Amino acid sequence: MKIKRNIALSDSGFVFNPTTGDSFSTNPIGIEIIKLLKEGKNEDEVKKHLIKSYMTDEVTLEKDYYDFVNMLLKLQLAEGDEDKDEAKN
Amino acid sequence: MKIKTKRKINVAVTGLNAIDSPGPGIPVIRALKESSEFDVHIIGLSYETLEPGIYMHDLVDKTYQIPFPSAGIESLLTRLGYINAVEKIDVLIPNFDAELFNFMKLTERLEEEMGIKMFLPTIEQFEERHKSNLAEFGKKYGIKVPHSKMIFNISDIPSLRNEFTYPLVVKGKYYDASVAYTPEQAVTCFNKISTKWGLPIIIQEFVYGQEVNVTAIGDGKGNTLGAIPMRKQYITDKGKAWAGISLEDEKLIEVTEKVIKGSKWRGGMEMEMIKTRDDEYFLIEINPRFPAWVYLAVGCGQNHPEALIKMALGEKVKPWKKYDIGKMFIRYSYDLIVGLEEFEKISTLGEL
């Protein structure tokens, strides 16, 4: 899963999608995840980073992480690998 | 140091009704007042005495009432003759769909007899983009258009089920549109819209998606001089944008350029489109003039009304290549306090 290339993210957690005109706000952990995904980190790398940085267990992290990235997909802020494959075709 | 002096110019503008369903006149005037090339003297042309622009003296220098379009071109010409004798109009910008036909018919006479220049679409362009001709327009220029049909009688509504599924959109020839979810609602919409705007009524397939709009200007030779895509963020009960934001949407710009290139569009225009979840674009309407939100274009770095003046004067305009994305407009209402003597003057003398 990748964050769409034109998504703008500010330090305050304001997220702007210039294609749809939609804007959202996210908390500091959300900012961190979006930044890591924007840098091109994959799912394992992001999860590893979060486990190291925060006092949480893998099961809780997994659940919250998928909740969050599914929301990013639903809000058209990210695209799944299958979307990209379709776009290539 | 070289100081650039602005050229003085007299511009007449209609559409001073800055109301809940606003005309584009005031935004066009604001754009012209911010021109880097022209020092504009604005002559307002109004139809009714309570159009707010008449009383906005910081924007409109002098206003004259003009006859309603139904009075015909001769009475319009006579009135403009009088106004021009006083004001010496250089360029005139009509901003209403319903008045455009008369002004297009008068284009040559206004220029030859009075020296008034305009930059309007041709009658052919004006006619072919009519809501009732939109299907053919789409076919001609390779743009997807929702299925639509003209009806003249309320008795045509029951048989719509053979061609359309509900919900469907009921539209007036010039203005107004409502979504009907049942045949009964379609009857109500038919009555409401036809009473106000006459016949025919256009029935259009309802396309699910996000409405996106573009304000643009064509040079009449197929080139797009500027185009700004926008999404409405706050919509009034009349369906008008009360707030909006400029978008990054290359595909929408491409569609706009395709329409302008194919039709050799001349002048300002607004395209109303629906973008589906699958990124398909359906054209639902083309308005043959600037929209009331055209001032957003200025905010994004493209002064379309200024470009229109230059085109009308026969000057070259370099097409814009970029604009600011994520610029918003937020409309507001404002109470003007007006002395009765001003209202009396425009009501009795027809000028203020």
Residue-wise pLDDT tens digits, B263-286: 999 999 999 999 998 889 999 989
B340 vs B320: CA distance, rounded Å: 45
Q: How many residues does this entry show for chain B?
A: 352
Stretch 234-273 of chain B: residues touching chain A, C-beta under 8 Å: 244-249
pLDDT of amino acid B2:
67
- Give the domain CATH number at B165: 3.30.1490.20
Residues of chain B scoring pLDDT < 70: 1-2
- Closest CA–CA distance from residue A67 to any residue of chain B (Å): 22
Strand ranges of the sheet holding A14-16, from the earlier edge strand across to the other edge: A8-9, A14-16, A23-25
Domains annotated for chain A, with CATH where assigned, are 2-88 (1.10.10)
B279 conformational bin, left if phi > 0, alpha if psi -120 to 50, beta if neither: left
Residue with tokens 């629906």: B274
Q: Is the CB of B245 less than 8 angstroms away from the CB of A6?
A: no
pLDDT of amino acid B131:
78
Q: DSSP alpha helices (H): ranges in chain A?
A: 28-38, 43-53, 58-74, 81-88
Supply the range of the domain harboring residue B50. Answer: 7-119+335-348
A69, A73, A76, A82: CA torsion to nearest 10: 130
A47, burial (CB in 10 Å: exposed 0-12, middle 13-18, buried 19+): middle
How do beta strands B177-180 and B38-46 pair? unpaired
Q: Tens-digit pLDDT profile for chain A (89 aa)?
A: 899 999 999 999 999 999 999 999 999 999 999 999 999 999 999 999 999 999 999 999 999 999 999 999 999 999 886 554 444 44
**B328 in a structural domain:** no
CB A11 within 8 A of CB A34: no
On whether any CB of chain B is under 8 Å from the CB of A8, the answer is yes
Q: Is the CB of A19 less than 8 angstroms away from the CB of B247?
A: yes
pLDDT of amino acid A1:
86
Same structural domain, B20 and B92: yes
For chain B, the domain total comes to: 2
- Give the domain CATH number at B29: 3.40.50.20
pLDDT of amino acid B278:
86
**B176 in a structural domain:** yes
Q: Which of B230, B233, B249 sits opposite A19 (nearest CB)?
A: B249
On whether any CB of chain B is under 8 Å from the CB of A28, the answer is no
Same structural domain, B18 and B103: yes
On whether any CB of chain B is under 8 Å from the CB of A6, the answer is yes
- Tell me which chain A residues have a C-beta less than 8 angstroms from the C-beta of B245: 21
Residue of B nearest to A75 (CA): B277
On whether any CB of chain B is under 8 Å from the CB of A20, the answer is yes
| Half-sphere exposure of residue B299: CA atoms within 13 angstroms, side-chain side | 18
